[in-house]
Every structure is written in C-alpha cells, then in structure tokens.
Structure 1
C-alpha cells in the first residue's frame, strides 16, 4: 500500500490513542503516505512524521454532506481520497453510516473503526483499535503512541500543571490542586499552570494561583504547549488530552484519575505514573479550601519519584497562615483569596 487516508474527528486524547495505527501502517508498508482528515491542531502534531502526506480540516465542508440523507452522491471529493488504496474512518457508531456512504461513492473499501468501546471495557483504547485493525487484515504490532519531542533545553526546570479537563467530572478537586501547588511552591519548585479554551471555569482559580507565585499560560497552540512541556521536568494533570500528549512525547507525566477507568484511558508512555483517586462529582471546582495532606499524598509521592528528589513525600503543612503560626515557625501556607 502506497497511500491511505486516516479520518479522525475526535478530541486530542482520542486522536493520540490512534497514533499506533499510523506507526503500524508505516512499519507494515514502508514509505506509505498517510493523509489525515482531522482537527488542524492535531495535524500539526504528526506533520514531522515520515508518513505524513498532508491534512484536510474536519471542520470544513468536505465531509458535511455525507451526514445528510441526500446530496452526498455529487459532492467533489479530495484527490487524496480518490488516489488512496484504503481509507480508515475512526469514530463512534453514528459515523458508521457516513463511512458507508463514502465507500459507496468511492467504490473502494472504507474501513470503519470504533474509536473507543461502549460500554467501557478493561483494556487500553489503543489496544482496542489495534485489535480492530488486525481483524480487518492488517497485522499491526503492539505499540505506544509516540510523537517527536522538541529539542529539550539542558536546564529543564519546574512542574507544568494542567488542572482542567474536557469532562468536568474528571477534574481532581481544586482544593487538592491548590494544596499540591502550595506544597511545590514552598519546596522552591517553579510551577507553571496551563489552561485551554475548555478550562474557562478554572480561570479564577488559576489567577489566584498566579498571584501566589505560579506562572500562568492561557490558550496555547499545541506547538507552544509542547515546547513548554519539553522545557519542564514534569507534567501533572487530570485524565485529559494534555496528559496524553505529554505521555506520547515520552515526558515524565503524572495523571490523576477519578471516575474514568485508568485501565482503558490511562495515558500511555515510557515515563507515566497514574494515581487513582476518588472524589464526589460536586467536589471538582470547590476551593479555596485546602485538601488534607492525605488526599494529595499519593500524587505528591508520584511527583517526588519522577523528580528523583525523594522517595517519600517531604513534610509539609496545609494550615492557613496565622500570626501565631508565623511566630512559632510552623510554616503554614497562605491561602489565596477568591477574586471578587
């Protein structure tokens, strides 16, 4: 096979989970050219890969008519669709009829793959995708998602934290993030917080953390986010596309999981620690109350392990600073006030 098309219109984490299909096809068919139909930002992540031959934005009107009952029969198709020997549509069941219409229009096989199992199953999504490819007759090898790492500065420093997630229920309570950040700052570890467009409900929290001493970055492009990750010693986040990106880049990553299944959704990479936590659905955005030390200890321990600073959680206090605490040297943390 010399040319193929990968169609993936999903979110960042889902797109990254599908990357072993691309690397597997490249291994099975050396020199293959892969054309992508995806979000433009996602195409930037794979643009440096040898198999990348170009991308079409899934936000455009090229595929829109195929979602309608009629009209799709006469829509002009991209030349890459016509030239390619196979097309792979990765999506959920509602997109299957669209893939069938595209197949009828092209007169060639359009393989439909379910992007993740519903209901959830106890195996990684990446393996679920590879199993479907093998059933279609493509013996792809097991592999982790892998992306090219930008040049990493020799003096990498600090911890990059993404406290948000596209799913509100997947956000580790902000009281826990608050406590973890305060602990890092008191141990003289620089902290950089990043928020994306989906993280608007966390903006007040992030501004308060910036006032406490964190650097704050908003709505970064993926290349800029990737560069900041590469310049950091560690990335910490929830079950989100950002932690999947860090893991695929091979960076030291701590991912905090709550309601979702880590067995299915964990970021996959050579330097990933997953911490299983539990919280109530309405706890996520509650702050500025600080979590008790025991609530953040597993995450702090994973941070310490990957930073290679200690094999245990250093002693720290989460008490509000008071005049008496300052006098007795107890070293409690100041709690940033919620902006009015």
Structure 2
C-alpha cells in the first residue's frame, strides 16, 4: 500500500465513529466497556464515544477504550420519547448535529421499536445514513448470563457479527491507571495520615441499594482484624453512605480506623491506585476497583453475581444469604473474606 493509500485509509477509518447512549450509573458504564471494545475492533472504527452522566463517564477517556464523552444532561434527548407524529425537528436542530458524525449509534435508552428508537432513526436520517441498535439496559428475568456478555451478544445478533466475535474476557483490565492518578492518590493518603510503607486495604461499606449493603458490623470486624503493624485499613464513604449512615455508625467507623468521604471519582481512582486490596458490596466503586486490576473482594447479597460480577483479573466474589445480608453480622462470611484477603 502506498503512503497516499495508507493515509486515505486512515482518514476513512477516523471518519467512522460510534456513539453509545448509556444512561446508567457508574457500574453500568464500566460493564459497557467490553461492548465499546467490541464495536471499535469489529468495525475498525476511528473512535467510540459515550453519552452518559458526566460524573460517571468523565473518568473514561484516556483511561479506557472510550475516546470521548458528552453529558446526557446537556442534550434534550427527552424530546425523543414522544409519539413520532408529534416529534419535530427544526433546521440546524442540536439533535441532528449530535448524531451527524456517527456511522453506528447504540442506545440503552428506549426499547426496540419504541417511539424513542423511531425518532432516533428519523433524526439520524436527517443528516446521513447510520446503523441504529437498541439494547436493553437490564437483563431479562431469571437471566444467568453476565450482563456484559449479554450486551455483546445482543449487539452481534443485531449487527450481523458472528457470535464468536462477541466474546468477553472477564479477566481483562478495563481501566488504565496513570502516574497522575497515583500521584493524586499519594497526596490524599498523606493528608489522611496513611503510612505508605504499609499494605493498604480500602473498604467501602455502601451501595446504591440498602438491601445490597452488607451489615456495617461485618466491615468493622474485618477492619479490626486486618489492622496490624503491616496493614493500614481505610474506609471510603460515598454520597449514599454519608447520607444513609447514622451519626453513631460514623463514630463507630472513626473509632476503628481512618475514613475519607466526599471524594470525586478521579480522587477515588487515585486512592484505589495506591491500594493493595479492596472490599465492597455490589456497587459502582467495586466495579471500578475490579476494573483497574486491584485485588477485589466483592460481596453479593440479593443480586446475582452470575449476572453482575465485577470484571477484572483479581476479583473474588463472596455470596451471602439474601435474607439477613443487610440486617445482621455474619461471622462465617467475615472469615471467608479474611481468608481471601490473606497477604
């Protein structure tokens, strides 16, 4: 191939891009990354962008296979949920401009054949021809297939890809850590008073759903047992825990070990990049810890790890009983976690 031909091929490749509309939370966005990789590689695209909640998708460019992001709150996608007969576009409409640069548009908003999908196709056709694929955000009832595999398989079926190309590696690192992340983590840990010469275990006791949260006493007992001359333990509280935990429970945490709260996601990444292990419930931060390759103990209660297990090379899932998972301490499960944390 001549230099001109190679340059032309590269220009054509860069001109073909895909966008994925992902309205979910942090864990949903991370579990979408294998799909991003599949779409990019299967069609030799110049890039794949993500439209989602800025606080979740903003960490992905430069650290993952996602090239660019846009806040889902910055565009009027709600306009597309009306009946097609009532849907209207004006000249130079922002919605037309939003999708004009993409040859593939994959959406987790709407349902196949829904008003949203029909209006999305109409909007796209106002500027060019593109492939539009609608995927379900949640698995069907009684599903046992991992959600990342479900996304990849359903996309393959709708796009005509051979199913053997839709394989998901559950042990792959999803998010890359850079030196700037580590530097930020070191700075945060020094501010908290963590001895960086010791091993560090980060514990996050929360999740978006109360029933998914292992009883706090379990985490406190694990922290008490782990703390030693060689191991530091740090509790990480997200917005849900800060709001949900009673003042007396926060006092308990501070009585056992150090604790940080109100961190941004880039700060959380920095913190995790300096840790030796992570313990948490089925939550977005647990998916984040697993995705960067950190040794992760993921505690599951009512949700099914066969469907929602975090992806990463060093993940151990510990399954608790659905009844009582959030209501009482479980010494046996604590022992299992500690055995899996043995350094």
Relative to the length of structure 1, the TM-score reads 0.79
1:185 and 1:206 map into 2 onto residues whose CA distance is 19
Deviation at 1:97, TM superposition (A): 3.1
Deviation at 1:196, TM superposition (A): 1.5
Q: Going by fraction, where is helix more abundant, 1 or 2?
A: 2
Q: Decide which of 108, 116, 134 is 1:90's aligned counterpart.
A: 108
Give the aligned partner of residue 226 of structure 1.
269
CA RMSD of the aligned region, Å? 2.6
Give the aligned partner of residue 183 of structure 1.
225
Q: Decide which of 157, 167, 176 is 1:148's aligned counterpart.
A: 176
Go from structure 1 to structure 2 and tell me whether the alpha carbon gap of 1:258 and 1:206 turns closer, same or farther (over 3 Å shift). same
Kindly indicate whether the alpha-carbon contact (under 8 Å) linking 2:96 and 2:123 is maintained by their aligned counterparts in 1. Answer: no
2:258 and 2:264 map into 1 onto residues whose CA distance is 17
Tell me whether 1:163 sits opposite 2:163 in the alignment: no
1:103 and 1:205 map into 2 onto residues whose CA distance is 53
Give the aligned partner of residue 103 of structure 1.
121
Runs of 4+ that moved beyond 6 A = none
2:198 and 2:94 map into 1 onto residues whose CA distance is 49
Go from structure 1 to structure 2 and tell me whether the alpha carbon gap of 1:250 and 1:104 turns closer, same or farther (over 3 Å shift). same
Q: Equivalent residues in 2 for 1:150-299 (5 A)? A: 150-151=178-179, 152=182, 155=197, 157-185=199-227, 189-199=231-241, 200-202=243-245, 204=247, 207-280=250-323, 284=326, 291=329, 293-299=331-337
Go from structure 1 to structure 2 and tell me whether the alpha carbon gap of 1:210 and 1:7 turns closer, same or farther (over 3 Å shift). same
Give the aligned partner of residue 26 of structure 1.
40
1:150 and 1:53 map into 2 onto residues whose CA distance is 16
Deviation per CA, 1:50-69: give whole Å up to 9, x if none: 85443221123431211234
Go from structure 1 to structure 2 and tell me whether the alpha carbon gap of 1:185 and 1:120 turns closer, same or farther (over 3 Å shift). same
Go from structure 1 to structure 2 and tell me whether the alpha carbon gap of 1:211 and 1:198 turns closer, same or farther (over 3 Å shift). closer
Q: Structure 1 regions of 5+ residues with no counterpart?
A: 309-340
Aligned-partner SS, 1:217: strand
After TM superposition, the structure 1 stretch with the greater mean CA deviation from structure 2, 205-214 or 107-116, is 205-214
Q: Structure 2 regions of 5+ residues with no counterpart?
A: 1-12, 187-195
Aligned-partner SS, 2:245: helix
Aligned-partner SS, 1:48: coil
Go from structure 1 to structure 2 and tell me whether the alpha carbon gap of 1:115 and 1:196 turns closer, same or farther (over 3 Å shift). same
2:322 and 2:333 map into 1 onto residues whose CA distance is 10
The total of aligned residue pairs comes to 300
Give the aligned partner of residue 327 of structure 1.
none
Deviation at 1:187, TM superposition (A): 6.9
Kindly indicate whether the alpha-carbon contact (under 8 Å) linking 2:95 and 2:123 is maintained by their aligned counterparts in 1. Answer: no
Q: Equivalent residues in 2 for 1:17-166 (5 A)? A: 17-30=31-44, 32-48=46-62, 52-69=66-83, 70-74=86-90, 75-77=93-95, 79-91=97-109, 93=111, 96-107=114-125, 108-136=130-158, 137-138=160-161, 139-144=165-170, 146-151=174-179, 152=182, 155=197, 157-166=199-208
Give the aligned partner of residue 10 of structure 1.
24
Kindly indicate whether the alpha-carbon contact (under 8 Å) linking 1:124 and 1:264 is maintained by their aligned counterparts in 2. Answer: yes
Relative to the length of structure 2, the TM-score reads 0.79
Kindly indicate whether the alpha-carbon contact (under 8 Å) linking 2:205 and 2:219 is maintained by their aligned counterparts in 1. Answer: yes
